[in-house]
Amino acid sequence: MKIALVQINPIIGDFSYNCKKIVSWANRAREKGCELAVFSELALCGYPPQDLLERSTFLVDHDKALQKLINGISGIGIICGHLEKHTDDTGKPLHNSASLIENGKIIFTAQKRLLPTYDVFDEARYFQPGRRSQSCLYKGLNVGITVCEDIWNDKGAFPQKLYATDPISDLVSDLQGADGKIDLLINISASPFHIDKENIKQEIFTRVCQNNDVPLIYVNQVGGQDSLLFDGCSMAMNSSGSIIARAERFKEDMVVLDTDTWQGELHGQQIQEVFDAGLTSGEPDGFLYETAAVFDALVMGVRDYAQKCGFSNGVLGLSGGIDSAVTCGIACEALGEENVLGVAMPSPYTSDQSVEDAKLLAANLGCPFEIITISSVFAAFKESLENVFAAYEENASPKIDVTEQNIQARIRGNLLMALSNKAGSLLLSTGNKSEIAVGYCTLYGDMSGGLAVISDVPKLLVYRLARYINRNKEIIPKSIIERPPSAELAPNQLDQDDLPPYDILDAILKAYLEQNLSVGEIAAMGFDRQVVQDVVRRIRINEYKRKQAPLGLKVSSKAFGYGRRYPTAQNYRDEGV
């Protein structure tokens, strides 16, 4: 049997669009001689639908679309993720299910049993877990169908198993399945991307195949959905855990697997080529591979967020610094350079070099560019506040403290929002994760925007992205990359006057935010304890800023946003030993 692995980019709640897309790809699979096409988790409604699931009209429209999908499939079977009503008197009202559809009817349904509630997931809020793992016979194969998390309860990947239930063991031992050994495991997923996630998945899937002596098909959603970025990377593995079919990453795609020969199509060969190039580029092993993945993810995230929210143009401030340069490069790739307006807004403390660098960057990218000087507006602000501020300035010298610095940032934020409103453009904010973590950013200033493109990208990775953008020719001017970073909001200002060196800051942030290590544990890694304490203090006291920040694209294992839930008003000191 030929099986198509089909990864699509659904739009949450656009049932007509999603249904047509599924039918269209199923027809393409049938034309290629496939008897079965496998789609991703909740492909019909899009993932994650969140509190839309609490709206009765949403569920009614979903069921209408499901019936339309069932009626629209002909000449091929499909496995597709959808919502299913939970009919018992107790429990949550819905199941997250996968059904095998053929000849105008559902012939088998599997319900998701393991409902994640960590990081960005909150499925127990909406869904009732399935009770049983069952297999079904289809075209002579005994197939076990699972949904996303059902395959992740792997004790080799985590310090301890997260669930008592193990759907894979149930299926492979065939406790309640059809007669005979499982011939094929199928897992449909909506598994978000983060750095190194691909390696984790392959390790888990390899163990599943080898430990159970069974081949695996994994089909993942692709596309950007708010903060979440889905990479696709659907694949098939043989019982030895070797990849025998693979789809593109960050693109809609279909690959075909032949179960008679257990051979399939391997798309995305450039992934391996990029990795190989990284080994000889003078960069650390895997540099280009990882950096290319982050770049592609962010480009997809900007493009999908803009399109799905109805924007065709973007605008951002170009400071002449590395963060705005990288953000602009990503935006131009995502939206088209002609659709991205870069705006330099020099203040009295902005160097001529910064303006020239911003102008050259825009020329290299081919995007429109404007200069709006803020000196007169800044002077008007200071004049308006002069009498009131006089009472606070008897001990201040010179009269440029954080207040005046923030005024400049907020003037720029107001100007950019005005341009966004007038042109109907999406304002892209340019702050990186390192600075946002410690509050080195201005609320209602440089934090203004509709989408924070690199808010989950540490500063050192920003530099790597800049070098990646310049991999074929110089697009980001060399001077932007080499100049010490500065907010240029006060005379002779440098980031490193207020922050630890970024190699130290990024390492501390990763240990504290992603690995959940205490101050004592991080200091034991060789970092100065006072520096660690200060960084952690800044993270804590700036929680209120991040709660008001624009939505950001997630590329790390722990991003700021709804996957990280910390109280703003709290006074816990995480000192450790």
- In this structure, of 150-159, 328-337, 350-359, the range with the lowest mean pLDDT score is 150-159
Q: Across the beta sheet with 94-102, what order do the strands follow?
A: 105-111, 94-102, 77-85, 36-38, 2-7, 253-258, 263-264
User: Are 105 and 69 in contact, with CB atoms under 8 Å apart?
Assistant: no
Distance, CA of 176 to CA of 545 (rounded, Å): 52
| DSSP H stretches of helix in 32-99 | 56-72
Cα-based distances in Å from 455 to 30, 111, 339, 447, 552 = 42, 36, 22, 10, 6
Mean pLDDT score, 441-449 = 94
What architecture is domain 2-130+190-202+216-267? 4-Layer Sandwich (3.60)
Question: What is the per-residue pLDDT across 192-229, written as a single tens digit (0 to 9) for each?
Answer: 999 989 989 999 999 999 999 999 999 999 999 999 99
Q: Which of 479, 469, 456 is nearest to 550 (CA)?
A: 456
Q: Is the pLDDT of residue 495 over 70?
A: no
Catalytic option among 41, 84, 248, 265: 41
Helix (H, G, I), strand (E, B) or coil at 536: helix
- The reported pLDDT for the residue numbered 332 is 98
Which one from 21, 112, 201, 554 is the annotated catalytic residue? 112
- Residue-wise pLDDT tens digits, 174-186: 544 445 689 999 9
Look at residue 272 and tell me whether its pLDDT is greater than 60. Answer: no
Q: What is the pLDDT of residue 350?
A: 87
DSSP state of 321: S
Average pLDDT over residues 328-339: 98
**Residue 537 CB neighbour total at 10 angstroms:** 13
Instruction: Calculate what percentage of the chain has a pLDDT beyond 70.
Output: 92
pLDDT tens for residues 390-438?
888 655 555 668 898 999 999 999 999 999 999 999 999 999 999 999 9
Q: At what angle do helices 15-31 and 56-72 cross, to 10 degrees?
A: 20
Lowest mean pLDDT among 64-68, 154-158, 203-207, 323-327: 154-158
pLDDT at position 493: 64
Q: Cα(361)–Cα(295) distance, rounded to whole angstroms? A: 18
Which one-letter amino acid corresponds to residue 167? P
Q: What is the pLDDT of residue 497?
A: 67
CA separation for the pair 426, 420 (Å, rounded): 6
Q: Which CATH number fits domain 285-495: 3.40.50.620, 3.40.50.920, 3.90.420.10, 3.40.50.300?
A: 3.40.50.620
Instruction: Select the more confidently predicted residue: 505 or 402.
Output: 505
Burial track 439-459 (b if 16+ CB lie within 10 A, e otherwise)? bbbbbebbbbbbbbbbbbbbb
Please give the radius of gyration of the chain, using alpha carbons only, rounded to the nearest integer: 26
How is residue 133 written in tokens? 């793992």
State residue 36's pLDDT score.
98
The answer to whether 41 is a known catalytic residue is: yes
Strand partners, 452: 429, 552
Q: State yes or no: is 112 an active-site residue.
A: yes
For residue 273, name the pLDDT band (cuts at 50, 70, 90): low
Catalytic residue of the set 34, 45, 80, 148: 148
340 forms beta bridges with 314
Distance CA 208, CA 72 (A): 34
Q: Exposed, middle or buried: residue 194 (CB in 10 Å: 0-12, 13-18, 19+)?
A: buried
Instruction: Work out the average pLDDT over 529-535.
Output: 96
Mean pLDDT of the chain: 91
Distance CA(322)–CA(335), nearest Å, equals 20
Which pLDDT value is given to residue 488? 62
In the annotation, is 233 catalytic?
A: no
How many residues would you count in the chain? Answer: 577
The residue type at 448 = S
According to DSSP, the residues that pair with 253 across neighbouring strands are 7
Q: Where do the structural domains in the chain lie, given as residue ranges?
A: 2-130+190-202+216-267, 285-495
- What whole-number distance in Å separates Cα of residue 473 and Cα of residue 364? 10
